[in-house]
Amino acid sequence: MINLFVNFGGPRDLEEITPFLTALLTDRDVVRTRFPTFLHNWLFRRVAKKRAQKIAHDYAMIGGRSPIYFDTEALAKKWDSLTFHRYLPATHRESLQKIEECKAATIRTIPLFPQFSYATTGSIARFFKANLSKQTVNKLRWIHSYAAHPSFVLAYQRRIADFLKGNKIEEVDCLLLFSAHGVPRAFIDSGDLYESECIQSFEAVRQAFPKALCRLSYQSKFGKGQWLTPSTEEACTRSEGKTHAVIVPISFTSDHIETLYEIEEQYLPILRAHGMRAYRCPALNLEDYWMDALDTIANTSPLTATEMLIR
């Protein structure tokens, strides 16, 4: 058996922002319209190009690249594993070839998304079905999710506890705002488990912090329509009597634009404007205890066939 780590991918430099956004926005599991494919793709290629110009500044502010690709590759190197980056088209040919050529009888596929969604893990499953041979797809065995797996929960509890201690923040004085990536409400209404799994993660992790005020919110809304609520932006306007606030990126295992820029530059200033001392808790990234947790998750989680993950 060999492990295959799958992730979003992220621009490795400013030049990759446009192809990254194009791949993301033309994915019909992520942006769902009633347009025929040719029209959808034409429209969202234009949107991607325009949006890339707008957010190039954001990426420049965090070093000109997303850490996700590099964190995923470093993780896989430590485990001698395969990788796949869904929205980095320049990496697909080599990644798919390595997966096809893998001699292992079983390819254990580990999404770096703790909570399942058809727009993340499901999208990659559909991509593999369309772009790998049937024989190889049949070798894939997926970890569906690990939203409430004890090892994931303990890893995030340690991350938060270490952060509070390192910043000399008393739990009783603190608002812990657990911020998950949002999705349209329509996704949930059509059967996506994502919201319920975010709640599972939130409820499990918060148990270690009974003196703090804990809240769950959703960030990164894109486009029109109703998304999961409350939004992180809205949640940041309510201090509820606490003097400190820490935003915890509960649906992210690696820091990237949504944490390093969106949380830092858009949400923390709102909290500070309401008189709070506000902080961003880092994601799990490459902490040794997260590596150990992933090993346990990989070896104790039930495995699922590709077809079961496609909407």
pLDDT single digits (tens) 168-211: 999 999 999 999 999 999 999 999 999 999 999 999 999 999 99
- pTM for the full model? 0.95
For residue 170, give Cα distances in angstroms to 153, 202, 265: 21, 20, 24
pLDDT at 224: 83
Q: Is 102 helix (H, G, I), strand (E, B) or coil?
A: coil
- Asked if residue 29 lies in contact with residue 123, where contact means CB atoms within 8 angstroms, the answer is yes
Say which residue, 224 or 42, is predicted with more confidence: 42
- Residue 17 confidence (pLDDT): 97
- Whether the CA torsion 149, 180, 188, 311 is positive or negative: it is negative
Q: At what angle do helices 150-166 and 194-206 cross, to 10 degrees?
A: 50
CB 279 within 8 A of CB 268: yes
CA dihedral 47, 53, 54, 56 (to 10 degrees): 130
SS3 of the chain: helix, strand, coil, percent, to 5: 50, 15, 35
Structural class in CATH, domain 2-146+292-309: alpha beta
Whether the Cβ atoms of residue 23 and residue 89 lie closer than 8 Å to each other: yes
Q: What is the pLDDT of residue 207?
A: 98
Per-residue confidence (pLDDT) for residue 121, from 0 to 100:
98
Q: What is the CATH number of domain 150-280?
A: 3.40.50.1400
Cα 189 to the center of its chain, rounded Å: 21
Q: H helices within the chain, ranges in order?
A: 17-25, 37-61, 68-79, 89-101, 121-131, 134-137, 150-166, 185-189, 194-206, 232-235, 257, 268-273, 288-300
Q: What is the pLDDT of residue 14?
A: 97
Q: Where are the domains of the chain?
A: 2-146+292-309, 150-280
* pLDDT confidence of residue 225: 87
